[in-house]
């Protein structure tokens, strides 16, 4: 990237991104952080209840991040390296856990694995106490491995087969190649995966609220203060602790991966296949992925069963009554689709452009923008939404349709994963490639558009899919933002759950998730066709 | 379900919406009987926005009934069965308020807004029938229903494991038979759980040492403290646990779907006062319509509808309770002091945590 002074268009782009980040990430959060006031913080830290939740949050983050990233790595490796069959199916399974609206999926786990669970008690006659640390740990591992899987797979698929072939030719065995070539080259992806997963685990509210029992973590404590006691001041203070922890994780990550180079995509074309992985690894990959798929399908199967029977599992009379809510609430499904698609498109493009500016630029303040683009992951949705209401619910903004505000909120709240994927991807692509374009006279922006973007198709997809899926399943972000006209599917699900209409909630979830899957599969199909053209540019 | 049925369903709803709009549009300009016209002329008109913490099924019927009583008033209803979130939202929206009415949820949520000066003071003529304990002396909010804390039991497991006896007093829960079989809302994270803790304090005449000693003895009986109150009922309904303290109206709602559970109301129990209030700072033209909504909520008709739909208990003596629901005369309520409970929340929760070792 040339200096900003020589490329005014680039400078304008940078200022635009910085302006958006300031307006829609920094400003609203500053409002939340300032809510308690000095006295409020002193009072909260002296008398409030935060030590235990803080300790619990740290323990849980360490445990769940480790297992979720490990699972994500195995899954990504199996998908990219092994020759196992059914890969398109497993690609879908790999994002299914992201499609779990709060309340409903956690409840399905209890139905299956609770003290009188269908599997635990019904099949094995055991009464485990899954509510608590171990329960959340297990559920979060499944819920968050898709983030790690997506980020690691994106990096793995761009790694250069020639290095591995070279290692093999020099006599290294399969394990040596993995340990000394493959694993080190995934470090940008692994770093991004650990940071992202850890931050999302830290921020997770839905699973600890329903599986956690008395094991209180910071987000459930913050929500409890608002929901049970209307204590905004205390809740905002808890939210600030979360931000501080996210900053700590971020600094740790920067320290860890230092200034090493992970370039594997250079200007020289390569069409060399990867060295084959041992057959045993492929078999193991297949079995591991299949078991995980089985577990995930058991959960969704429970939801489907709940949706089509009178009172699952005590009364199994088939019924279609729960699908009758669809008619009355079609507006919320439609809104969810429109907001999700709009936010996902904007968020993915913005993430790639911002990633390009930060990773390729050499201007001052890059680190700050880098952190600010990751920070939203650490903000519980409730507080992200709260910041928006406090900041943007002003008389002079009343003409603004709340639908637009919801799309903006979804865009910026979900930007971290796509952004992280882009930065990790760019670290693998040799600067000489975009420099070739600029020395031939193209502007940096043109080089970005015609050279970088085509090579970052994977990162763009990661950003789009993550944002869309989270937009379809988030409740807390929208609690303060929705209006009667801009209500969404998760609000409907929440209302049904609180009305003790478990069947209706399950039916609505099934439709919501099915709708999301249809959209993703359709887009993958369209993208797959064009992918042929994009693929040629890839090394 | 295939896509075609889905599309058909979507189509039906669009048609239904179209019809509703057509009917609404037609009804307004062509008022029916002359008597109704005369009455309607005196009645306020306009459009109000209602933030409702009531249950989904209650909301729909309420709006319908209100519009029958006041055909000139359109209602935009924002449903969210979480009063704490609605209270927070109203606070956060104070620069440009979006709600005319806040309905449902314990009085403490309304009281907080009133103390922040965010509520319009209004004493409805219909409030005269309501006891002083259930309404704000300054007129910021008015109570219109009681939610009573009760006990839910899974009948099958109760008969097999406990000998079929539901608790008569909260002390009955200390019976060794209940060990590890109860589930209750977490006092730290849920309003209901904290009301249970505060109830014990009031039950022992604010002798906190005795109350904490009780909670400490109760601790081994509790298999789980859950993060939301409805989840506690659901887990008992599924048979995951045998019983637990919870909201009696919610227990009855679940019982309608699963007859395998039972409700009991131990004596000296706690309760909430569900309130309604008018939010300050809205266009002056909305105020008469907002007042009309409060007046209507306090009528016998609305009270009966709420009892029927949500199983809660009306503050009006002339409204009979729902079948199976406890009446205020039958249950023995503890002398609950909401102001004391609110002011000592952090301290009591910490003391409880220390007592049970959590």
Segment B5-24, tens digit of pLDDT: 444 444 444 444 343 333 43
Bigger pLDDT: A314 or A57?
A57
User: How many domains does chain A fold into?
Assistant: 2
Quick check: is A265 in a domain? no
Q: Does B339 touch chain A (CB under 8 A)?
A: no
Residue A138 and residue A191 in one domain: yes
Write down how long chain B is: 358
- Residues shown for chain A: 539
pLDDT at A268: 55
Contact at CB, A330 and B13, closer than 8 angstroms: yes
Higher pLDDT, A66 or A162: A66
Q: Can you tell me whether residue A103 is helix, strand or coil?
A: coil
Residue whose token pair is 């887009």: A523
B15 and A CB contact within 8 Å: no
User: Which pLDDT tens digit goes with each residue over B89-113?
Assistant: 999 999 999 999 999 999 989 998 9
Whether residue A42 is contained in a domain is answered as no
Residue A271 reports pLDDT greater than 70: no
Least confident of A84-93, A175-184, B65-74: A175-184
Flag if A491 and B108 touch (Cβ within 8 Å). no
Of B93, B112, B230, the CB nearest to A497: B230
pLDDT single digits (tens) B124-158: 999 988 888 889 989 999 999 999 999 999 999 99
Single pTM value for the model: 0.85
CATH of residue A89's domain is 1.10.3720.10
Percentages helix, strand, coil for chain A (3-state, rounded to 5) are: 75, 0, 20
Q: Min CA distance, B200 vs chain A (Å)?
A: 18
The answer on pLDDT for A43 being more than 50 is yes
Looking at domain B147-271+323-356, does it have CATH number 3.10.129.10? Answer: no
Same domain for A333 and A307: no
Q: Please determine, for residue B1, whether its predicted confidence score (pLDDT) is greater than 50.
A: no
User: Alpha-carbon dihedral of residues A72, A76, A77, A81, nearest 10 degrees?
Assistant: 170
Query: Do A291 and A349 fall into the same domain?
Result: no
> ipTM of this predicted complex?
0.85
| A342 and A305, same domain (yes or no) | no
Nearest CA among B236, B206, B242, B211 for reference residue B336: B206
A539 pLDDT exceeds 80?
no
The verdict on A308 and A342 lying in the same domain is no
Q: Chain B window 246-305: which residues touch A at a Cβ cutoff of 8 Å? A: 250, 253-254, 257-258, 260
Chain B hits for A313, Cβ within 8 Å: 238
Segment A466-478, tens digit of pLDDT: 899 989 988 889 9
The lowest-confidence range among A243-247, A419-423, B326-330 is B326-330
Same-domain check for residues A306 and A325: no
Tell me, yes or no, whether A324 and A207 share the same domain: no
Who among A390, A398, A501 is closest to B92 (CB)? A390
Phi first, then psi: give them for residue B232, nearest 5 degrees: -60, -40
Is A4 domain-assigned? yes
- Under the banding of pLDDT at 50, 70 and 90, the label for residue B30 is very low
Range scoring the smallest mean pLDDT among A189-193, B194-198, B308-312: A189-193
> Which tokens belong to A466?
């993550």
Q: How many whole angstroms separate alpha carbon A121 and alpha carbon A130?
A: 12
Q: Please indicate, yes or no, whether residues A65 and A193 belong to a single structural domain of this protein.
A: yes
Q: pLDDT digits over A186-214, tens only?
A: 877 788 889 889 988 998 888 888 788 77
What separation, in Å, do the N-terminal and C-terminal C-alpha atoms of chain A show?
Answer: 21
The overall average pLDDT reported for chain B is 86
Range of the domain at A119: 50-258+271-316
Q: Do the domains at B40-146+272-314 and B147-271+323-356 have one common CATH topology?
A: yes
Cβ–Cβ gap B257/A480 under 8 Å: no
Q: How many angstroms separate the CA of residue B198 from the nearest CA in chain A?
A: 13
- For domain B40-146+272-314, the CATH class is alpha beta
Q: What is residue B7's predicted lDDT score, i.e. its pLDDT?
A: 42
- A374 and A305 fall within a common domain: no
Q: Smallest Cβ distance to A479: which of B85, B227, B349? A: B85
Position A122 scores a pLDDT of: 80
Residue A191 and residue A253 in contact, taking contact as beta carbons nearer than 8 Å:
yes
Find, in chain B, the residue whose alpha carbon is nearest to that of A233.
B88
- Whether residue B64 lies within 8 A of chain A, CB to CB, comes out as no
Based on the fold, state whether residues A82 and A134 are members of the same structural domain: yes
The first and second tokens of residue B349, run together, are 């929760």
Residue among B49, B109, B234 whose CB faces A230 most closely: B109
Mean pLDDT of all residues in B273-295: 95
Residue B116 at interface with chain A, using a CB cutoff of 8 Å: no
The predicted-structure confidence for A353-396, as pLDDT tens digits, reads as follows 999 999 888 888 888 999 999 889 888 888 899 999 989 999 98
Q: What average pLDDT does range B236-244 have in this prediction?
A: 93
Share of chain A above pLDDT 70, in %: 94
CA-CA-CA-CA torsion sign (A371, A374, A378, A382): positive
Domain assignment of residue A223, yes or no: yes
A30 pLDDT more than 90:
yes
Instruction: Place A269 in a pLDDT band, splitting at 50, 70 and 90.
Output: low
Domain ranges of chain B: 40-146+272-314, 147-271+323-356
Mean pLDDT of A97-111: 81
**CB < 8 Å to B63, chain A:** none
**Hey, which of A97-106, A118-127, A155-164, A330-339 has the most confident mean pLDDT?**
A330-339
Do A165 and A27 belong together in one domain?
Answer: no
- The three-class DSSP label of residue A355 is helix
Please check whether residues A26 and A167 belong to one and the same domain: no
User: Which chain A residues are Cβ-neighbours of B358 within 8 angstroms?
Assistant: 52, 214
Q: Which residues of A42-54 are buried (b: 16+ CB within 10 A; e: fewer)?
A: ebbeeebbbebbb
List CB contacts (< 8 A) between B87 and chain A.
230
Per-residue pLDDT at A425: 85
């Amino acid at each position: 990237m040339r200096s900003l002074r020589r490329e005014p268009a680039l400078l304008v782009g940078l200022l635009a991104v910085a302006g958006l980040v300031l307006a829609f990430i920094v400003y609203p959060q500053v409002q939340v952080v300032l809510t308690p006031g000095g006295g409020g913080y002193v009072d909260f830290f002296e008398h409030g209840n935060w030590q235990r939740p803080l300790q619990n949050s740290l323990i849980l983050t360490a445990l769940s991040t480790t297992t979720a990233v490990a699972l994500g790595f195995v899954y990504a490796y199996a998908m990219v390296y092994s020759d196992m069959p059914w890969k398109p199916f497993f690609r879908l399974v790999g994002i299914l856990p992201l499609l779990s609206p709060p309340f409903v999926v956690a409840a399905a786990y209890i139905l299956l694995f609770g003290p009188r669970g269908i599997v635990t008690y019904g099949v094995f006659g055991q009464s485990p106490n899954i509510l608590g640390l171990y329960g959340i740990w297990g559920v979060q591992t499944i819920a968050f491995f898709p983030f790690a899987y997506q980020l690691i797979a994106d990096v793995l698929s761009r790694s250069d087969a020639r290095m591995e072939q070279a290692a093999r030719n020099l006599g290294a065995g399969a394990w040596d190649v993995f340990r000394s070539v493959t694993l080190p080259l995934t470090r940008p992806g692994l770093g991004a995966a650990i940071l992202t997963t850890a931050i999302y685990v830290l921020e997770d509210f839905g699973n600890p609220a329903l599986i956690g029992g008395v094991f209180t973590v910071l987000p459930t404590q913050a929500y409890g203060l608002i929901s049970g006691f209307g204590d905004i001041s205390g809740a905002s203070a808890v939210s600030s602790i979360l931000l501080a922890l996210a900053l700590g994780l971020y600094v740790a990550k920067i320290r860890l991966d230092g200034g090493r180079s992970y370039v594997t995509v250079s200007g020289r074309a390569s069409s060399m296949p990867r060295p084959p992985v041992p057959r045993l690894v492929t078999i193991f990959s297949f079995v591991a992925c299949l078991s995980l798929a089985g577990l995930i399908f058991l959960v969704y199967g429970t939801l489907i069963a709940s949706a089509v029977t009178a009172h699952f599992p005590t009364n199994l009379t088939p019924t279609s009554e729960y699908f009758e809510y669809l008619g009355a609430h079609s507006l919320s499904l439609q809104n969810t689709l429109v907001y999700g698609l709009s936010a996902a498109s904007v968020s993915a493009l913005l993430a790639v452009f911002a990633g390009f500016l930060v990773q390729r630029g050499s201007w001052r303040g890059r680190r700050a923008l880098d952190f600010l683009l990751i920070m939203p992951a650490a903000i519980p949705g409730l507080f992200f939404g709260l910041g928006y209401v406090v900041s943007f619910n002003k008389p002079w903004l009343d003409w603004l349709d709340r639908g637009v505000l919801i799309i903006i909120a979804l865009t910026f709240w979900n930007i971290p994963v796509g952004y992280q994927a882009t930065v990790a991807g760019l670290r693998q692509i040799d600067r000489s490639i975009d420099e070739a374009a600029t020395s031939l006279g193209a502007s940096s922006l043109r080089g970005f558009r015609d050279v970088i973007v085509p090579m970052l198709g994977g990162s763009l997809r990661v950003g789009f899919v993550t944002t869309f899926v989270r937009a379809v399943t988030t409740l807390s972000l929208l609690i303060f933002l929705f209006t009667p006209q801009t209500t969404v599917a998760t609000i409907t699900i929440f209302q049904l759950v609180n009305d003790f209409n478990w069947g209706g909630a399950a039916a609505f979830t099934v439709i919501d998730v099915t709708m999301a899957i249809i959209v993703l599969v359709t887009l993958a199909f369209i993208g797959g066709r064009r992918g042929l053209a994009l693929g040629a540019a890839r090394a | 379900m295939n896509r075609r049925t889905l599309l058909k369903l979507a189509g039906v709803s669009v048609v239904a919406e179209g019809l509703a709009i057509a009917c609404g549009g037609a009804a307004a300009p062509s008022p029916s009987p002359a008597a109704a016209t005369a009455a309607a002329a005196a009645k306020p008109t306009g459009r109000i926005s209602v933030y409702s913490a009531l249950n989904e099924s209650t909301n729909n019927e309420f709006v319908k009934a209100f519009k029958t009583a006041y055909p000139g008033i359109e209602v935009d209803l924002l449903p969210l069965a979480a009063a704490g979130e609605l209270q927070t939202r109203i606070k956060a929206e104070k620069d440009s308020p979006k709600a005319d009415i806040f309905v449902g949820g314990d009085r403490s949520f309304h009281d907080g807004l009133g103390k922040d000066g965010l509520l319009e003071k209004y004493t409805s003529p219909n409030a005269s029938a309501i006891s002083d304990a259930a309404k704000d002396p300054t007129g910021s909010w008015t109570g219109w229903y009681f939610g009573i804390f009760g006990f839910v039991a899974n009948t099958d497991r109760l008969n097999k494991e406990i000998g079929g006896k539901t608790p008569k007093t909260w002390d009955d829960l200390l019976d060794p038979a209940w060990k590890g079989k109860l589930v209750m809302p977490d006092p730290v994270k849920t309003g209901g759980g904290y009301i249970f803790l505060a109830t014990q304090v009031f039950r022992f005449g604010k002798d906190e040492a005795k109350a904490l000693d009780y909670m400490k003895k109760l601790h081994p009986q509790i298999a789980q403290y859950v993060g939301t109150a409805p989840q506690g009922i659901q887990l008992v309904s599924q048979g995951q646990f045998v019983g637990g303290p919870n909201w009696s109206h919610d227990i009855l709602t679940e019982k309608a779907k699963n007859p395998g559970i039972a409700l009991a109301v131990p004596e000296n129990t706690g309760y909430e006062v569900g309130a309604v209030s008018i939010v300050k700072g809205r266009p002056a033209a909305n105020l008469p319509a907002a007042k009309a909504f409060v007046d209507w909520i306090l009528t016998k008709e609305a009270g009966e509808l709420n009892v029927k739909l949500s199983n809660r208990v009306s503050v009006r003596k002339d409204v009979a309770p729902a079948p199976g629901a406890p009446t205020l005369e039958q249950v023995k309520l503890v002398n609950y002091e909401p102001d004391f409970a609110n002011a000592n929340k952090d301290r009591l929760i910490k003391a409880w945590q220390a007592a049970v070792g959590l």
